[in-house]
Structure 1
């Protein structure tokens, strides 16, 4: 995960933001979750109706897709949300039952009106939370997942990576993904893995055995070698058992 996060191609900021930030500041952008990273579940936010909601309540004890966005960014965050929403619809999983979707703003200056306008018609319903937080809450959450962005006050813009993480039910970071290069199959497996076999049924558990996460490319790939080793091992066990059984029967026949 760390290797994948470090080599993400993060060209996801506007030209105006580029103009107001130094090369060193831009070089610090990225998504690099630390090993065993965990989000603070008690962290407080507000939803688009102004109601207080903790991160733990938003996660709801389910594997979660945690998506940082700039509610006023239409160049990157808007398309990224569209891609994520479309991919989720194709996973075969159901929000509120199999997983949670938590979209949170990274700019504390954005209000509920901007948040509602941003997600309108794309994500809503059970298991979906759109959160607005204070600067302190945003900083604590983004630090926890290794999400690094820069605010350009000169141009009223935010330079940020187009990426998100999946969380386990207890808030541990499972994987990091690019929002723009997302494939529904990869997202499904990411949520299945975050659920640790508790969602997706038997087919999902089998899929997790046959696929592994390629941290370099940020996708899931077939683990052919592992599958072959597993199959060969089971075959050897069955053959050995059959040989032992036949030997025992043969001895009984001779004794008789």
Structure 2
């Protein structure tokens, strides 16, 4: 009887859980409910979206994507009081620890989702991040644009955000989008501090092995992105392939050494 009572209580609790979760979701501000990411892996960022650079000059997304290295795309806004500065600091920390050089191994592009942000705001954020990276300000791009232009960039990568008029702030996810050199969406990295390993592997993956050392390319073989954890993790088949190759090399080397030793012995035992 007691077990039956426990079972009934548990079933009632589980049946109420979705309703409680739905009620909590409804309690969130509308802007917060809109903040999410609809991943568009394999999609492309249009090249004809016109933004403005740090000096007020017109810059198209095609110009931002021109080159042969991956693009680290961050969508944020420059007057953000908390989340955006933490995200940019976390990205800078991860990229610095990854050991890659901005402008040479990747391009960091930040686009403001707030049409009220100015070129001066963009330049200040750029200079501050360049200082943290120990990089030239010219190797980073911080851009602003009209509401339509920035929304077009966000829609292209599935970045959903909302404006809360009561606080005059934007609700948005903390995510970094990694683009291949041709503008194809290669990977999403979530959280305020993407790890240096995840950033490193995402850059190598997006560059199709054209960036990074041979060790980095081997790591990409042994690690795969796990959508469940949203991180790179060990890939057993990759380790097995690497292990098989090492065994083959070891056996081949051993056989070669034995063959050479036998040849020397044969020469030494022959008539002089």
TM-score with structure 2 setting the length: 0.74
- Segments of 4+ moved more than 6 angstroms: 236-240
Alignment partners' CA distance in 1, 2:206 and 2:77: 25
Q: Is 1:195 the equivalent of 2:201?
A: no
Instruction: Report if the CA contact (8 A) 2:31-2:163 is conserved.
Output: no
Alignment partners' CA distance in 2, 1:184 and 1:154: 37
Please state which structure has a larger fraction of its residues in helix. 2
Q: Output the aligned Cα RMSD.
A: 2.4
Q: What are structure 2's unaligned runs of at least 5 residues?
A: 1-26, 131-135, 260-272
Deviates more, 1:117-126 or 1:52-61: 117-126
1:226 to 210, 222, 238: 238
Report the alpha carbon displacement of residue 238 of structure 1 after superposing the two structures with TM.
9.5
Alignment partners' CA distance in 2, 1:59 and 1:127: 13
SS in structure 1 at match of 2:98: coil
- Residue 87 of structure 2 is matched in structure 1 by 80
1:155 to 162, 167, 179: 167
Q: Is 1:129 the equivalent of 2:141?
A: yes
Instruction: Report if the CA contact (8 A) 1:39-1:173 is conserved.
Output: yes
The 1:115/1:233 distance shift into structure 2, 3 A limit, reads: closer
- Residue 96 of structure 1 is matched in structure 2 by 103
SS in structure 2 at match of 1:90: helix
Alignment partners' CA distance in 2, 1:108 and 1:206: 43
Q: Is 1:139 the equivalent of 2:151?
A: yes
- The total of aligned residue pairs comes to 222
Instruction: Pick the structure with greater CA Rg.
Output: 2
Report the alpha carbon displacement of residue 199 of structure 1 after superposing the two structures with TM.
0.5
Alignment partners' CA distance in 1, 2:138 and 2:208: 22
- Residue 23 of structure 2 is matched in structure 1 by none
Q: Is 1:40 the equivalent of 2:40?
A: no
Alpha-carbon deviations, 1:124-175, whole Å to 9, x = none?
5343111111111111110010000001223311111111200000111111
